[in-house]
Structure 1
Amino acid sequence: MAKVLIIDAAPMLRDFVKEKLSSERVEVETATNRDAYTKMINTLPDLIILNIDKHSSGNPINENIVDFFQKKSRDPNSKTTPIIITGPNLSTEAVAKLVQFGVIKYFKKPIKFDVFFDAIGKQLNGIFSIDTTPCVLDLHLNDNNNVIFIEVAMGLNREKISLLKYKISELINANDLSYPKVILMMTSLSLSFVDGMNLELLFNNILADNRISRKNVKVLSLDSIVSELIEGHPEYEGIEVTKDLSTILNSIVTPKNSSSGANVADVISDNILTATAETQDSESMGMRFATDTETAEELKSEGTTLRVAAVDDDQIVRALIHKAFLSIGAETDLFASGREFVEKVVEKKEKHYDIIILDIFMNDMNGFEVLIKLKENTIATPVIVYSQAIKRDMIVKSLSLGARSYVLKPQKPENIVKKAMEVLNAGKTE
């Protein structure tokens, strides 16, 4: 049986990696910097995974690590043992200097776990099973209300779901949440009975932290399979499933003051309208695959033509969107009204688009009506609503009608492109 020694890793990284490796029949030992050398000579691992962090000196390679490297290089039994390091961003020169100590890979945080485990598997002469189901799984926190937002889209990926329980606990600990509340948003998921096991895994991982009470878990889903699963499991009693985001927010958010609805609007603005971004310094494992984060520049270099439909009655906005997507080689068709778009594209279905940028306030046919037409004609092209509408009901309605994301005007054109790439790349696995 292969052996791996994990040194000085944060609890989330240590526990998640240990769980994954153990499931692959790999023996795992853990150590701190102080007892790392003793553990190494006693266990004689086939691979060492070493975590390093930033220090006030600016150099993450501290004296303890240097001492460990030197002792390792002098020991005939461990001198050639390979090391994989996880840590902050280092210069190419700094990483190159680590090779002399047996370092074969350096992973900058947050780690893309699919590439990480692939590297471990290759080093241990094995191939680890990785679920590559297209899946978006993101976490947000409204710390004023102890509300953790979890968004799941595209599909259910067991690897990301397994990591979720560690991410939740890390979030609770980092923000000292006493009575955390969870809103699970799954409106874009279309499920079948075969997803039952993955759904159970999802709910079990959300409830794994005993600080989360079932009565404080609310689920937004349009799929009857979710509600049937909750109703059929006594251990999930107390979890509420609804199709109305507004109802969930009003029931779970504690108002800051007597102004009714003001705080709920803040929650929506802070957690739904804000582009997803992972905290680079605190996170050790990213919730995305490496291929989820393909950039616009990479897309352009590969010669892939992105097809964009921009539906907005503001000529200046249309021109800015066109120019922004043109910079990455995208083909953008502009529509001056919702009706024009529906008549030329939705009803005739003569042209396919990769993404639609849609305004809400248009005279002849507003954005809501366009979303309804898309749904009626079973057109699943992802839609980003780009609008000045800031009222809670309008935002909730857009998302409920199938919009994948909501971005407030005005934005720099490059931000619209960035959001489009986030939405598109979320479904890629190859």
Structure 2
Amino acid sequence: MKSVLLIDGSALFQDFLRDKVAAEQVTLECATSREAYTKMISLLPDLIIIEVESVITEELNILLEKKHNDPNAKKIPIIMTGPVIDRGRIANLVEYSVVKYFTKPIKFDVFFDSIGRILKMPLSMDTTPCILDIHLNGSIIFVEVAQGLNREKLLLLKYKLAEIINKYKINIPKVILMLTNLQLTFVDGANLELLLDNVSAGKRIPNKYIKVLSLDEFVIELIKGHPEYSGMVVSQNLQYVISSLMNDDSSLDYDSKDFIYDNILHSDRPADEAALGFIDDRSTGKKDSGTLMKVAIVDDDVVIRKLLENTFTSASGEATLFENGTAFMKAVTDGADFDIVILDLYLPDMDGISILKNLVQRNYQTPILIYSKASSKEVVLNVLSLGAKCYLVKPQKPGTIVNKALEILHSNR
């Protein structure tokens, strides 16, 4: 049986990797860099994986030197994951049998392909396109799944939810699972069950605290007809879903609209806490050109357009300006490619709500950030239910908008 030694792996990485390789009849042993040499010599694994948190420590350097000088361990291949480091440092790692260095967040399909090649046994991979986004607001965890159900991401979800619950010491965790962009059939039944099982985080979240937002009849019928999911609420209305969570917990006596308005719109969680960790399979492919993001700015106020354009440009972004909805929708129809759209609701030719509805019909996947003077909670709820990622009420400092756009892009990857 093939064996892998994971050194300095985070709890999330350990659990996910163990489940993945166990399915391929590969054993996984874990160790810190301090104890790794002893375990390495006794195990003589087929592969070593090292997770670097921020910098390559002196302790890790000593371990690499010991391995390099040991004739039994010298040729064991190493895969490393970590932060961005210069090419010269990566080249220096080659002499220590480091065959791959993956910059975080990892593109996991390439990562597991590399493991399979080294072990000379291809690892099965689900290549289904899937966008999985997690946000924590108060004690409510929002999980959005779009495009499709990818088994690797669904497996990771269980560990990420458990990590969030433990990190923030959430006594009564509640989950809103948003599936409004999914259309499934009976063929997807097993993967849908896997999703629901992992959302419960190993039964740590009671069914009555799991609410599902979906327009799909198959999703609705499967949940309603499955005894394992008894107690889960399925709805097409975000406000109702939020309200049902409030009603389930007698300690929460505030109005659900106020909760959404105060927490979803003004969440102060750092952006990196919403991300899935080491997975990234939505690379924009624009980083090599020096462009951080391509943004569409749709606003009839010329001052706001130019101000945002200058701010995004100074942050290595590329802004395309639209003074009305018609011009923007024509660009979308013509295949214009953006990483994020900043949209005003009040435009001279059409309102932003109509644009959002049109984009939903087109299954438009680019995240939308609403930047508008409209501040009523009803409008905000409507916009969020149509898939907008964020709502900022005018006016805001331009830097705030850029930071929020970066947060959205980071959490979408």
- Which range, TM-score by smaller chain? 0.7 to 0.9
Q: Does 1:288 align with 2:312?
A: no
Q: Is the 8 A contact 1:230 1:237 kept in 2?
A: yes
**CA offsets per residue over residues 42-63 of structure 1, 9 Å max, x none?**
3221111123445xxxx64243
Q: Equivalents in 2 of 1:52, 1:419: separation in Å?
A: 28
Change (3 A) 1:192 1:386: farther
Whole-Å Cα distance in 1 between the matches of residues 85 and 230 of structure 2? 48
Partner of 2:302: 315
Long gaps (5+) in structure 2: none
Compute the displacement of 1:5 (Å): 1.5
TM-superposition CA deviations, 1:378-408 (whole Å, max 9, x none): 4444572332333332122123335465454
Provide the C-alpha distance between the structure 2 equivalents of 1:358 and 1:213, rounded to a whole number of angstroms: 38
Q: 1:323 to 1:97 in 2, by over 3 A?
A: closer
Question: Displacement, 1:130?
Answer: 2.6
Q: Residues 72, 329 of structure 1: CA spacing in aligned structure 2 closer, same or farther, 3 A cutoff?
A: closer
Aligned with 2:217 (options 204, 215, 224): 224
Give the superposition deviation at 1:269: 0.8
Residue in structure 1 matching 2:100, options 105, 111, 134? 105
Structure 2 residue 160 is the aligned partner of structure 1 residue 167: yes
**Contact 2:132/2:412 (<8 A) preserved:** no
Corresponding residue to 2:122 among 113, 122, 127: 127
* Aligned residue runs from structure 1 range 21-420, under 5 A: 21-53=21-53, 60-63=56-59, 65-90=60-85, 92=87, 94-142=89-137, 145-253=138-246, 261-270=257-266, 277-279=271-273, 285-289=277-281, 292-294=282-284, 296-298=286-288, 311-320=298-307, 333-335=322-324, 345=330, 351-354=334-337, 357-362=342-347, 365-372=350-357, 378-381=361-364, 382=366, 384=368, 385-403=370-388, 406-409=391-394, 410=396, 412=398, 419=405
Number of residue equivalences = 402
RMSD over aligned Cα atoms: 3.9
Amino acid at match of 1:232: G
CA distance change for structure 1 residues 201 and 108 in 2, over 3 Å: closer, same or farther?
Answer: same
CA displacement at 1:238 relative to structure 2 = 1.0
Identity of aligned residues (%): 41
SS of the aligned residue for 2:265 comes to: helix
Corresponding residue SS for 2:180 = coil
Q: What SS does the corresponding residue of 1:231 show, helix, strand or coil?
A: helix
Q: Deviations over 1:303-322 (max 9, x none)?
A: xxx895x5433233344566
Q: 1:357 to 1:209 in 2, by over 3 A?
A: same
Q: Deviations over 1:79-127 (max 9, x none)?
A: 2111222344555555444433322333344433223223222322343
The alignment partner of 2:145 has SS state of strand
* Separation of aligned partners in 2, 1:136 and 1:231: 25
Instruction: Give per-residue Cα distances to partners, 1:242-292, cap 9 Å, x unaligned.
Output: 111112223324787767743331122145xx8993349xx8942422xx1
Instruction: Rate the CA distance shift 1:187–1:270 in 2: closer, same or farther, 3 A.
Output: farther
> Using a 3 Å threshold, how does the CA distance of structure 1 residues 192 and 33 change in structure 2: closer, same or farther?
same
The answer to which of 406-415 and 73-82 deviates more is 406-415
Cα deviation for residue 156 of structure 1 reads 1.6
Q: Cα deviations across residues 189-238 of structure 1 (Å, max 9, x unaligned)?
A: 22233222221111111123332111111111121221111112101111
| Shift, 1:240, TM fit | 0.9
- Separation in structure 2 between the aligned mates of residue 232 and residue 89 of structure 1, nearest angstrom: 48
Q: Is the 8 A contact 1:178 1:211 kept in 2?
A: no
Change over 3 Å in CA distance of 1:276–1:123 after alignment to 2: farther
- Provide the C-alpha distance between the structure 1 equivalents of 2:26 and 2:330, rounded to a whole number of angstroms: 54
Query: Residue 137 of structure 1 contacts residue 287 of structure 1 at CA under 8 Å; is this kept in 2?
Result: no
Counterpart CA distance in 2 for 1:421 and 1:265 is 19
Greater shift in the superposed pair: 75-84 or 248-257 = 248-257
Query: Aligned letter for 1:241?
Result: V
Distance in 2 (alpha carbons) for counterparts of 1:360 and 1:87: 41
Per-residue CA distance 1:152-185 (angstroms, 9 max, x = gap): 1222221111111111111112112222111111
Amino acid at match of 1:115: V
The alpha-carbon distance between structure 1 residues 193 and 322, as it changes in their structure 2 partners (threshold 3 A), is farther
AA at the equivalent of 2:258? A
Cα distance 1:109–1:426, how it changes in 2: closer, same or farther (>3 A)? closer
Cα 1:424/1:7, change in 2 over 3 Å: closer
The structure-2 alpha-carbon separation of the partners of 1:47 and 1:402, relative to structure 1 and needing over 3 Å to count, comes to closer
2:4 is aligned with 1:4: yes
The 3 A distance-change label for structure 1 pair 406 and 191 is: farther
For the residue of structure 2 that corresponds to 1:293, the secondary structure is: coil
Q: 1:72 to 1:323 in 2, by over 3 A?
A: closer
Question: In the superposition, relative to structure 1, how do residues 364 and 108 fare at CA in structure 2: closer, same or farther (>3 Å)?
Answer: closer
Question: Match of 1:396, SS?
Answer: helix
Paired letter, 2:5? L
- How much does 1:150 deviate? 0.9
